[in-house]
Amino acid sequence: MTTPMEVPLQSEPGTPAPSNGAGARQVDGRSATAPGLARSLARRALTVVAASAVIAFLVTGIYEDSFRNHLVYSLCIGFSCWFFIEVGRQTIFRWARRRALRRGAPRSMLPPFRWMLPWIVVSALLGYEIGMALGNALLGQKAPGLGMFATNPRALAVVLIITILTTLAMTFWWFARASLAESEARAEVAHRVASETQLKLLEAQLEPHMLFNTLANLRVLIAVDPERAQAMLDRLIAFLRTTLHASRADLQPLAEEFARVADYLALMAIRMGPRLEVKIDLPDDLRDLPVPPLLLQPLIENSIKHGLEPKVQGGCIEIAARRDADRLVLTVRDSGVGLSEQATTAGTRFGLGQVRQRLATLYAERAQVALEPANDADGGTIARIVLPLALPAAA
Amino acid sequence: MKAPVALIAEDEPLLALNLQQELAKAWPELAIGATVADGASAAQQALALRPDVCFLDIRMPGLSGLEAAQTMAEDWPADVPFPLLVFVTAYDQYAVQAFEAQAVDYLVKPLETNRLTACVRRLRKRLADRAPQAALQESVDQLRALLATSPGATAAIERTRAPRLEVIQASVGNTVHMVPIDDVLYFEAADKYVRVVTAEREHLIRIPLRELVPQLDAQQFWQVHRGLVVRARAIAAAQRDDSGKVFLTLRGRPERLTASRLYAHLFKGM
């Protein structure tokens, strides 16, 4: 009667430990390294040992029998419970992950806590029974297992309530800790990706070749036409300011975006002379719509660099915004050499990939960008961005 | 000695104007024979005007400055002194490194007066004591090295990445002829097309030669001219003439092909 009471109690400390270790390991990434895995297993085992020792000590104070014997039963049951919880957790985790993958990207690496609940109870009972048998075998004693509950229902009730409450409380605590760590890790990754994107964007904007060519033109213009030189310098300053600032700003009005596009194209028009014709069309009612900054810029640079610059006679670039039901459609159309010839100039897809990635981050699947040949007399290429009119989720 | 003549190839009008003005100050007796805005016109005008100096912007529509220089070197008549070449670039570290390595004259944009003056001094000296035949050979060697480093380097990288072409798909009307690459004797650029020549017949495909080349096995197919890639095993003999050109006779085809000066080094006795 004494020994059985002590044992179920001490099955609880074993159970919370697994979800702790498991949670930590998953946050690190599913493919934990072998030393990392060994460390986390050791940490969990140590928790089980410590908890078993504490319970064995308490129980020795209440019931007869030696501390040594209590400790043996404690450890046997603790480790059995841990084993069952771990097996169940892995199974539930795999199943939950497959299910999440079928429905889209999994948000969390942790199995849902509510699915663990019944299994924790089952684990406690199984762990108790097997741990008792193991303890009996080790000590050569014959303490009763679950079978004793048939003769003593009160003991059964006490054991079950204490076991389940303690197990749940501790498992939940560990689970909460692990999921907090996970969300922190996720936030850190998101932050790092954002910083890297901004840096790349900045590098792409301040392309040295463009900058030095513009400065070369400016240097000439100062002598030839100081007034135009000043105007060009103003454009360059506005362009630089936006590029440096916009990389940090989340959203800006569409009118602002078009103004910067106009700055950039004005610089290009001075450089390319009559080879570049620019048309910009922004309806008044769309001016205030918030859009991510410098979204059009990479597409316009592509048009210039891969479409119009390689074309001997130059051509026209048209930037337009249109409302299409509940969507905003932005187009960049050039009459350049066209997509089939662009394969010769490498790096065409970098700008497009950048835009696609930003849209995916901000709007998920609600926004698209596409590049296609313009199938009319002028030829060339059309890049089209489709955005929802509503604010992006991340804003 | 007659006044030296220069050709300026620069696609940005203000910069072309500026170079012209700066040259007028730094080198008053230099006459500007022509100012062009693309690579193909540069080569064409240079071959027509036969200037003493060519200022070639690297990034130009159509042909790059380097490709224009290649065209000039390949087609230049042997009895006329080859022009001194000065490449102009805004920002291209790789090109500048290559120019330094080959001791090729170059200018960076924005143009600095001091650097232009130094460049002009060097050009005048070289014009004064140049030997016609040696100048061409020197330029050919430099260009070969430049082509191997800058655009050639990217082509070499693409060569390792691009999937090997196994079959050429040449369409005539609504029929597509499948030509195994092993049957092809040579590829020849013809305006926007490439002629694909086999022992029996020839096909036209609409893909630039420079896009085709990375997809070919460089061991099997040798580039022997900017517009000609020949299967090495199909070449029966190579004969060099006085101008530095090399004439190739083929196995299985009656016509003779011409390898340019730039690739003449491929044909040497073992």
Q: Which amino acid is at B111?
A: L
Contact list, B192 vs chain A (CB under 8 Å): none
Give the span between the Cα atoms of B45 and B154, in whole angstroms: 28
pLDDT at position B32: 94
CB contact under 8 A, A219 and B17: no
CB B5 within 8 A of CB B52: yes
Q: Do A209 and B59 touch (CB under 8 A)?
A: yes
Give the max Cα distance, chain A: 108
Instruction: Give the H or E element holding residue B231.
Output: strand B228-231
pLDDT of residue B50: 94
Distances (CA, A) of A214 to A247, B12, B59, B96, B109: 21, 10, 14, 19, 9
Query: Is A275 in Cβ contact with B14 (below 8 Å)?
Result: no
All residues at 6 or more sequence positions from B241 whose CB lies less than 8 Å from its CB, including other chains? B247
What are the CA-CA distances from residue A233 to residues A221, A226, A241, A266 (Å)? 10, 10, 12, 11
What confidence tens digit (pLDDT) does each residue in B18-27 have?
999 999 999 9
Q: Rounded mean pLDDT of chain B? A: 87
Instruction: State the Cα torsion B44-B46-B47-B51 to the nearest 10°.
Output: 160
pLDDT band at B64; cut points 50, 70, 90: confident
Per-residue confidence (pLDDT) for residue A161, from 0 to 100: 64
Mean residue pLDDT of chain A comes to 76
Q: Shortest CA distance to B211 belongs to which of B165, B145, B262?
A: B165
ipTM above 0.90, yes or no: no
Strand A315-324's sheet: what is its strand order? A276-281, A315-324, A327-334, A381-388, A368-373
Type of residue found at A46: L
- Cα–Cα distance between A199 and A193 in angstroms, integer? 10
**Confidence tier at A233 by pLDDT (50, 70, 90):** very high
Measured over the CA atoms of residue A290, residue A293, residue A299 and residue A300, the dihedral's sign is positive
Interface contact flag, A209 B91, Cβ < 8 Å: yes
| B48 band by pLDDT with thresholds 50, 70 and 90 | very high
Q: Are B14 and A212 within 8 A, CB to CB?
A: no
pLDDT at residue B181, rounded to an integer: 92
By C-alpha distance, the chain A residue nearest B21 is A220
Single out the residue of B113, B122, B123, B124 nearest to residue B18, CA to CA.
Answer: B113
DSSP letter assigned to residue B183: G
pLDDT higher than threshold 90 for residue A330:
yes
Q: Give me the count of residues in chain B.
A: 270
CB-based burial, B144-164: b 16+ in 10 Å, e otherwise: bebbebbbbeebeeebeeeee
Contact list in A for residue B211 (CB cut-off 8 A) is: 343-344
Q: Tokens 């039963």 sit at which residue?
A: A73
- For the domain made up of B5-157, give the CATH fold: Rossmann fold (3.40.50)
The pTM of the full predicted model, rounded to 2 decimals, is 0.66
| Exposed / middle / buried, residue A33 (Cβ in 10 Å: 0-12, 13-18, 19+) | exposed
Percentage of chain A exceeding pLDDT 90: 17
- φ and ψ at B218, to 5 degrees? -65, -25
Classify domain A206-388 at the CATH topology level: Heat Shock Protein 90 (3.30.565)
Closest CB from A216, A218, A270 relative to B90: A216
E strand or H helix that includes residue A5: helix A2-14
Interface residues of chain B, partner chain A, Cβ below 8 Å: 11-15, 17-18, 37-38, 40-41, 59, 61-62, 90-92, 108-111, 154, 208, 210-211
B248 backbone φψ class: left, alpha, beta (φ>0; ψ -120 to 50): beta
Give the lowest-confidence range in A64-73, A195-204, B199-208: A195-204
Q: With CA atoms as reference, report the closest residue to B222 among B178, B251, B187, B170.
A: B187
pLDDT at A45 over 50: yes
Residue A341 has pLDDT above 80, yes or no: no
- Residue B182's pLDDT is 92
Looking at residues B179-197, what average pLDDT do you find? 91
Query: How far is CA B180 from each of CA B165, B176, B184, rounded to the nearest angstrom?
Result: 9, 13, 7
- Identify the H or E element spanning B233: none
Per DSSP, the three-state class of B106 is strand
B chain contacts of residue A215, beta-carbon cutoff 8 Å: 110
More confident site: A389 or A161: A389
Cβ atoms within 10 A of the Cβ of A235, count?
A: 21
Q: How far is residue B186 from each of residues A304, B229, B231, measured CA to CA in Å?
A: 35, 6, 6
Confidence of residue A354 (pLDDT cuts 50, 70, 90): confident
Write the pLDDT tens digit of every residue in A116-155.
778 887 887 787 778 878 888 888 877 665 555 556 666 6
Which tens digit of pLDDT belongs to each residue from B226-259? 899 999 999 999 998 877 789 999 998 999 999 9
* A221 to B110: CB separation less than 8 angstroms, yes or no: no
Report, as an integer, the average pLDDT of B109-133.
87
Q: Which long-range contacts (CB under 8 A, 24 or more apart) does A240-248 make?
A: A240/A206, A242/A293, A242/A294, A243/A202, A243/A205, A243/A206, A243/A294, A244/A202, A246/A293, A246/A294, A247/A198, A247/A201, A247/A202, A247/A205, A247/A293, A247/A294, A248/A198
- Cα–Cα distance, A200 to A188 (Å, whole number): 18
Task: Work out the burial of residue B80: count CB atoms within 10 Å of its CB; fewer than 13 is exposed, 13-18 middle, 19 or more buried.
Answer: exposed
Contacts for A8 with CB less than 8 Å, ≥ 6 apart: A77, A124, A128, A159, A160, A162, A163
Structure tokens at A270: 């001075």
Domain ranges within chain A, ordered by starting residue? 2-188, 206-388
Cα–Cα distance, A366 to A339 (Å, whole number)? 26
Task: Give me the pLDDT at residue A105, please.
Answer: 55
Rounded Cα–Cα distance for residues A21 and A34 (Å): 14
* Whole-angstrom distance, CA of residue B97 vs CA of residue A266: 32
What value does the mean pLDDT take over residues A36-65?
75
Residues of chain B positioned with their CB less than 8 A from the CB of A344: 208, 210-211
pLDDT, average across residues A325-345: 79
Most confident among A182-196, A240-254, B199-213 (mean pLDDT): B199-213
**Separation of alpha carbons B134 and B139, rounded Å:** 9
Interface A-B: count of C-beta contacts within 8 A:
68
Residue B203 has pLDDT above 80, yes or no: yes
Contact predicate A32/A40, CB 8 Å? yes
Q: What pLDDT is attached to residue A383?
A: 92
Task: State percent of chain A over pLDDT 70.
Answer: 73
Angle at B249 between CA B151 and CA B232, to 5 degrees: 45
Residue pLDDT, tens place only, A358-368: 888 788 788 88
- Retrieve residue A18's tokens: 């697994």
pLDDT for res B221: 92
A 359-388 → B contacts, CB under 8 A: none
Nearest to A275 by CA among A223, A310, A302: A310
CB contacts under 8 A, A 259-278 vs B, are 270-275
Distances (CA, A) of B25 to A223, A262, B11, B31, B56: 14, 36, 22, 12, 19
Residues of chain A positioned with their CB less than 8 A from the CB of B18: 216, 219-220
What CATH homologous superfamily does B165-266 map to?
Answer: LytTr DNA-binding domain (2.40.50.1020)
| More confident position, B81 or B151 | B81
Q: State pLDDT tens for residues A235-267.
A: 999 888 877 776 566 788 899 899 989 999 999
- Closest chain A CA to residue B38: A312
Residue A350 banded pLDDT, cuts 50, 70, 90: low
- Cβ–Cβ contact A333 with B under 8 A: no
Among A282-286, A391-395, B62-66, whose mean pLDDT is lowest?
A391-395
Amino acid at B235: I
pLDDT of residue A156: 59
From residue A220, alpha-carbon distances to A276, B35, B55, B199, B251 in Å are: 19, 17, 18, 57, 58
| pLDDT of A43 higher than 80 | no
Asked whether residue B128 carries a pLDDT value surpassing 60, the answer given is yes
B-chain residues within 8 Å CB-CB of A208?
91
Domain ranges of chain B: 5-157, 165-266
Is A226 an interface residue toward B (CB < 8 Å)? no
Measure CB to CB from residue B38 to each of A312, A344, A346 and give the nearest one.
A312
